[in-house]
Amino acid sequence: MTAGSWVENTDKRYWFPDTVPTKTDEWNIAQERKRYVTNYGTTRTHPRWLYDNGAFVDDDYLYHNEEWRYVANWNDVPTSSDTEFYIKNPIAEWTKSGDDKTYTITWKTYAVQEPTISDEDTVQLKVQKEDTDWVYDHSALTVTKAYDITRYNTDDLNAEKWDVLRGTRDLLMKNTDWIITQGTERGVGISTAMKSYRQTLRDLPGTISDISVYTRAEIATRDFYPEEPSAPYFY
């Protein structure tokens, strides 16, 4: 708290500190960055008023003469996450210090929810919208994200499913290529189970007459494909 007194002149009564702050770049920059709650119930930056020595006026000067109150935690914004989203309370709900000179911002915590998206199998691209477009339930303290969604047409969706199937099939084949390589290098035979497994993978696309009956999620799961046999792989 800065000591000071009220000064009377011909047209105004104002408060003035007994000792004004020393003008330094650090002082003025720090004051310039501050936020205050004005006597009108709004927030604004330092007005850049100066003492005679060029130092920006301090918080006590603004409080006594303008009824402005310094916001102590203006830059301490909590970081929202995928599960929690913070919304600043109205000024009337901020905490005021015991000496009446300072405000501390308070926040409400909202639980973040994902929306229910219909027919997810047709979703080609999902781009999250800005949080200003999310759906807020202020009574339940929940917020539901919103997305811009681009969907596949039927032909493109089926083509994507075939790509997923063949790509997964090729990866499973590649995972057992080492067995074929070792069998060749060692001059030994490959087990019937392994031969059958690899042949089933090769033939898999030809066994599907209508890929539209499967979802992309189904095709991407390991259970969609034959089970890889266990060792021994050679005889």
Domains of the chain, residue spans: 4-71, 84-96+104-151, 154-224
Please tell me whether residue 56 adopts helix, strand or coil conformation: strand
- C-alpha–C-alpha distance, residues 134 and 36, integer Å: 29
Q: Over the stretch 194-234, which tens digit does the pLDDT of each residue have? A: 999 999 999 999 999 999 999 999 999 999 999 999 988 87
Categorize the per-residue pLDDT at 1 as very low, low, confident or very high, splitting at 50, 70 and 90: low
Q: Which of the pair, 13 or 210, is modelled with greater confidence?
A: 210
Instruction: Give the end-to-end CA distance of the chain in Å, rounded to a whole number.
Output: 89
User: What percent of the chain shows pLDDT beyond 90?
Assistant: 90
- C-alpha–C-alpha distance, residues 2 and 17, integer Å: 6
Element (H, E) at 180: helix 177-186
From start to end of the chain, where are the E strands? Answer: 4-8, 13-17, 35-37, 43-45, 69-71, 84-88, 95-96, 102-104, 107-113, 123-128, 135-137, 142-144, 147-151
Q: Over the stretch 136-175, which tens digit does the pLDDT of each residue have? A: 999 999 999 999 999 999 999 999 999 999 999 999 999 9
Categorize the per-residue pLDDT at 2 as very low, low, confident or very high, splitting at 50, 70 and 90: confident
- Mean pLDDT rounded to a whole number for the chain: 95
pTM greater than 0.75 (yes/no): no
Categorize the per-residue pLDDT at 9 as very low, low, confident or very high, splitting at 50, 70 and 90: confident
